[in-house]
Amino acid sequence: MKAVEYFRMSFSSTVSNKLRTLLTILGIVIGISSVIIIVSIGKGGQAAILGELEKLGISGVNIKTKAGDLQSKDLLKIADADMIRKRIPQIRSVTPVFNGLGVVKHNNRYREAYLWGIDKEFRNIYSLQLLHGRLVNEADTRSQRKVVVIDNVLSSKLFHRENAVGRTLKLTSKKNTYNVTVIGIVKSSNEMFEELFGEQIPTFVYLPITTLQNIYDSDNVDHISIKIDKSENLDEIGVKVVKFLERIHNNEDKYYAENMMRQKEQVNNVTNILTFIIGAIAAVSLIVGGIGIMNIMLVSVKERTREIGIRKALGATRRNILIQFLIEAVNLTVIGGIMGVASGITLSWMICRFSGLPFNISVYTISTTMLFSAFIGLVFGVYPAKKAANLEPIEALRYE
């Protein structure tokens, strides 16, 4: 029997029982679409997280002090950043960073904030997309001006407008309140997370590093961020900077270099593992769908016993019957796979559009799930196909 004839008979049997076919392949459709949706959301979430981390300088190196017994001379200063900039030629940009916590308020509207004390070099390492006004400059840092840069989400919340340049808000930190002027609006680096988690995540507020140091009555910095040429090795430059700082501070084993690219790799690994585990759990429904396929094929063999007897009486071999029923089982799972892929892509697109996640469909995932669905049909179709092929013609013709 020709292959075309096998597929024609399989298609005819599938179409003749539309409702039963639809109910049979429903488990396959749910399984395939679930895997595609989970992997798509996982990949989209991974891309979004890495994109946000990229804005926070994940492509550079952070120099920090180790926890433990530290003396005043061991702490990092703004002058250290200046020395690194002058003495190590492989470094493109250096910025000292001082962090704090506070609350920003305007009228009766307020928001908890993570404060970034920065200088003019900050923009070269951390990706701030300026929408209105300007960023912190050297004059702001030198004069310890009480100015801030906020993001568009915070501006809309406090002032009901995106462009709040020139407006004044109250900044409370260390139990003191200061009137500060908004000099710039940047695009929120937490916009996606704020949409998902509301105001549970503090907003970012940027102000001159010397101003924040004055608020905290400190001349130290929390860390020094470094950006190097792409041709250079991050780990090697990190070690070089650490040794340089130890030399000028006359100490040992007080600093370490945090390669932010390794943070990116860790995020990739964690999200990939989570996506795989959840996707594997969703794939269990494919097994359930396969059991449904086997069940309905057994019913089909029972219903078509006389047909099988007639075909065998007319010369059909066991191999012909076996192949016919195997193709029917695979045909059902492939149809379910196609419907699952279509519904999975559609639902993934809708979820990503609603949540703001990047839409990310993996061709590898689609092809793998389709092949797996065909494999499920083959595995769970073997027993019914063998049962049909082993029917004796005389007994099959006697069947009522």
* pLDDT tens digits along 32-56: 888 888 888 877 777 776 666 665 5
Structure tokens that stand for 29 in this block:
């459709």
Q: How confident is the model at residue 178 (pLDDT cuts 50, 70, 90)?
A: very high
| 8 A C-beta contact, residue 113 and residue 103 | yes
- The CB density around residue 294, as the number of other CB atoms within 10 Å, is 20
Across 311-337, average pLDDT: 76
Q: Tally helices (H) and strands (E) across the chain.
A: 14, 10
Structure tokens that stand for 43 in this block:
């990949």
- Burial (CB < 10 A; 0-12, 13-18, 19+), residue 229, is exposed
Residues 6+ apart with CB under 8 A from 368: none
Query: Mean pLDDT across the chain, nearest whole number?
Result: 80
Q: According to the per-residue pLDDT averaged within each range, which of 34-38, 167-171, 305-309 is highest?
A: 167-171
Q: How confident is the model at residue 232 (pLDDT cuts 50, 70, 90)?
A: low
3-state class (DSSP) for residue 129: coil
Element housing 52 (H / E): helix 18-55
Please name the residue that has the structure tokens 């492509």: 59
Q: How far apart are CA 177 and CA 85, in angstroms?
A: 34
| 8 A C-beta contact, residue 185 and residue 149 | yes
Strands (E) located in the chain: 61-65, 91-106, 109-118, 130-133, 147-151, 168-173, 176-186, 203-208, 223-228, 255-259
The more confidently predicted of residues 339 and 301 is 339
Query: N- to C-terminal Cα distance for the chain?
Result: 27
Q: How far apart are CA 84 and CA 63, in angstroms?
A: 11
The reported pLDDT for the residue numbered 276 is 75
Q: How far apart are CA 199 and CA 188, in angstroms?
A: 13
Element housing 340 (H / E): helix 318-355
| 8 A C-beta contact, residue 349 and residue 359 | yes
- CA-nearest of 98, 126, 295, 93 to 214 is 98
The pLDDT of residue 389 is above 70? no
Q: How confident is the model at residue 185 (pLDDT cuts 50, 70, 90)?
A: very high
Q: How confident is the model at residue 398 (pLDDT cuts 50, 70, 90)?
A: low
Q: Which amino acid is it at 220?
A: N
Residues 6+ apart with CB under 8 A from 123: 135
Q: How far apart are CA 30 and CA 24, in angstroms?
A: 11
Q: What is the largest CA-CA distance in the chain?
A: 103
Q: How far apart are CA 296 and CA 19, in angstroms?
A: 12
* pLDDT tens digits along 283-298: 677 777 777 777 777 7
Q: Which amino acid is it at 364?
A: Y
| 8 A C-beta contact, residue 200 and residue 87 | no
The reported pLDDT for the residue numbered 138 is 93
The reported pLDDT for the residue numbered 281 is 72
